[in-house]
């Protein structure tokens, strides 16, 4: 493992899905986590990852992803740190209000693991949220 002139190389992977991207950046880990959350919530400026890092004052370059034909050993040799994106993204489930009323305890338990969005006539009316994992 090594750094490239002030850069750190992160492998951002999606739990056990096999999806990943390798990012070379001057940004600290905390900003990379902010990027993961913003990308998950579809809040990147102009839907542009490079612009996100630029606005924060850092350089970033996406090197590879799971679709690239690379030897996994090569990727592992250059990566400084791996981050499981699923530790930071918010998952959610849409539930009709009548269903929540009938099984409130079950949905409160589910909300400990992921956001539960309550709907009435297909419109979102409330959200039960899990604790922030990165606080």
Residue 23 to residue 4: CA distance in whole angstroms: 12
Judgement on whether residues 112 and 55 belong to the same structural domain of the protein: no
Judgement on whether residues 44 and 104 belong to the same structural domain of the protein: no
pTM beyond 0.85: the answer is no
CATH number at residue 121: 3.40.1620.10
Count of domains for the chain:
2
1 forms beta bridges with none
Residue 25 to residue 7: CA distance in whole angstroms: 5
Judgement on whether residues 75 and 16 belong to the same structural domain of the protein: yes
Residue 74 to residue 82: CA distance in whole angstroms: 14
Judgement on whether residues 67 and 98 belong to the same structural domain of the protein: no
Burial tier of 1 (Cβ tally within 10 Å: 0-12, 13-18, 19+): exposed
> In this predicted model, what pLDDT tens digit does every residue of 81-112 receive, in sequence order?
999 887 877 666 677 888 888 888 887 787 77
Judgement on whether residues 30 and 53 belong to the same structural domain of the protein: yes
In a domain, 1, yes or no: no
Domain with 107, as residue range(s), is 92-128
């Amino acid at each position: 493992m090594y750094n490239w002139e002030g850069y750190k190389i992160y492998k951002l992977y999606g739990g056990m899905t096999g999806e990943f991207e390798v990012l070379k950046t001057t940004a600290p880990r905390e900003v990379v986590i902010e990027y993961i959350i913003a990308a998950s919530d579809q809040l990147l400026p102009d839907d542009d990852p490079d612009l996100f890092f630029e606005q924060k004052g850092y350089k970033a370059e996406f090197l590879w992803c799971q679709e690239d034909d690379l030897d996994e050993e090569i990727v592992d040799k250059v990566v400084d740190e791996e981050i499981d994106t699923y530790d930071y993204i918010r998952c959610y489930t849409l539930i009709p209000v009548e269903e929540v009323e009938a099984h409130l305890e079950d949905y409160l338990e589910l909300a400990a693991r992921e956001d539960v969005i309550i709907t009435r006539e297909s419109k979102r009316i409330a959200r039960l949220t899990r604790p922030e994992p990165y606080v």
